Structure 1
């Protein structure tokens, strides 16, 4: 298997494991199960249950408070799902494009990223010769003393 597909499978497994323990898992689960079901000929729900079992193992390890057990559970899950993704990519040439699209979605937190468009309109009367006018769409966090010389 070419190196690009191996890297794609690794990235996919890493993103999948991160999503399993994240807040958006329910939004992502169906897409991931469908991806694997299309390549294996198996039922989407059966694969969904396998994903849920893997997630339960990760959550339990995280809740144990044992950092070594948590790291091991994450490594095991990544290895298992990386191998499944590699097989899917090997067996179906169409899978790479779908996995890339799925990864793009996962990087957006499980939802399609939306652009925010803000329009600001100001009217200045009386001139600005001795006054300062600032217009900004967004100003980050302001901290006391920020920007002052020390």
Structure 2
């Protein structure tokens, strides 16, 4: 599954439990509107239901339900990308500009994948880190 889909599905479900859930819902609905406009209202309604399920799961400490819901939305997002591969850029924008900002720092660290590539030639050095990095050289 596309790493952006994995991150977006998880972030979408997680964002549904925040105060900015309406923005998260709007971002997801915009994707459906582009590929399957006839399903726009149904997706809006389903996301409202997901919000209720997530809030109940969090109240109960039920992380399995939250993971299952994230998985279900990951599959749905993957299906959209199969129908319209060009939607990947728009999904990435929704992830970066709508979903991720709705999450706490701790929630942001629970999902996502980092892919880094670097090339050095000669005696060049490359330092990469997904988080903190401290380098001491003489």
- Asked if TM exceeds 0.5, the reply is yes
Offset at 1:94?
Answer: 1.7
Measured in 2, the distance between the counterparts of 1:7 and 1:48 equals 24
Structure 1 position 29 matched with structure 2 position 21: no
- Which of the residues 7, 10, 13 maps onto 2:3? 7
The aligned length equals 102
- Which of the residues 74, 83, 91 maps onto 2:83? 91
Offset at 1:108?
Answer: 2.3
Task: Please tell me whether the aligned partners of residues 19 and 25 of structure 1 are also in contact (alpha carbons under 8 angstroms).
Answer: yes
Measured in 1, the distance between the counterparts of 2:33 and 2:73 equals 13
Query: What residue number does 1:75 align with?
Result: 67
Measured in 1, the distance between the counterparts of 2:79 and 2:39 equals 17
Measured in 2, the distance between the counterparts of 1:20 and 1:51 equals 8
Measured in 2, the distance between the counterparts of 1:8 and 1:57 equals 24
- Which of the residues 43, 46, 53 maps onto 1:47? 43
Compare CA radii of gyration and give the structure with the larger one.
1
* Gapped regions of structure 1 (runs ≥ 5): 111-150
Query: What residue number does 2:134 align with?
Result: none
Query: What residue number does 1:58 align with?
Result: 54
Question: Structure 2-normalised TM-score?
Answer: 0.67
Offset at 1:54?
Answer: 1.2
- Deviation beyond 3 Å, 4+ runs, structure 1: none
* Gapped regions of structure 2 (runs ≥ 5): 104-138
SS of the residue corresponding to residue 22 of structure 1 reads coil
After superposition, the C-alpha distances for 1:84-110 in whole angstroms (9 at most, x for unaligned) are 011111110221000000011122238
